[in-house]
Amino acid sequence: MTTITRNTNETQIELALDLYSDAGADIESPVPFLNHMLTLFARHAGVGLRVRATGDTEIDGHHTVEDIGITLGQAISGALGEKKGIARYGDALIPMDEALVLCALDISGRGHLSFDAAFPTQRVGAFDLELVEEFFTALVRSAGITLHLKQMAGKNSHHIAEACFKAFAHAFRKALEKTGDARVLSTKGVLE
């Protein structure tokens, strides 16, 4: 279990992550749509994730969503350590009704996001869909993950967002798989 506490003037976050767990998610933040996304991420990735967050959502959800992304990334990086003995790469092509999202990722040590999804609406409920990309940007930077998310189809914003998080979850699960080789999967000898 890796725990991170992050307090700023904008947000207060406690997060606990277990990379190999069927405990699922226990998420409480003032951004319900993100709670929904993190809950399905944890279940589909096969990780245990607990989040308690408060933030300045009287402004908007931006700081809270971004800072949960940073904190989750820090926990992933901390939990992975030297990244020895894992598959490193993962991919997934995940449908959600009419939506279809492709994800490929590399636990490379280098944060990079290529995000190619277009939401037909600005919002779902009170959630600003621009924050999906902000969340993944924050996460990959602090986790050191190279992440490509590409929408192949979709008309419904909720479905497209959900397919993004599920595709990420399944790709991440594959990348975490134990290979039985104790070394780092890199001819360089390190992933950083």
Which residue, 96 or 176, is less far from Mn ion as judged by CB? 96
- Nearer to Mn ion by Cβ, of 106 and 162: the residue is 162
Any alpha helices (H) in 25-119, and if so which ranges?
Answer: 32-45, 62-80
Q: What angle do CA 181, 183, 186 make, to 5 degrees?
A: 115
Nearer to Mn ion, 127 or 145 (CB): 127
> For the chain, how many residues are written?
192
Is the Cβ of residue 80 or residue 161 nearer to Mn ion in the bound state?
161
The closest residue (CB) to Mn ion is 162
Site residues, Mn ion (CB under 5 A): 162
Q: Which helix (H) or strand (E) holds 172?
A: helix 157-175
Smallest distance from Mn ion to CB 159, Å: 8
Shortest Å distance, C-beta 84 to Mn ion: 36
Residue 5 bridge partners (DSSP) = 14
Minimum CB separation of residue 27 from Mn ion in Å reads 14
Of the pair 66, 162, the CB lying nearest Mn ion is at: 162
Residues 6+ apart with CB under 8 A from 93: 100, 101, 102, 103, 152, 167
Q: Give min distance, CB of 98 to Mn ion, in A.
A: 14
First to last CA, the chain: 22
Closest CA to 27 of 18, 12, 46, 40: 40
Work out how close the CB of 168 gets to Mn ion at its nearest, in angstroms, rounded to a whole number. 15
> How far is it, in rounded angstroms, from Cα 68 to Cα 2?
15
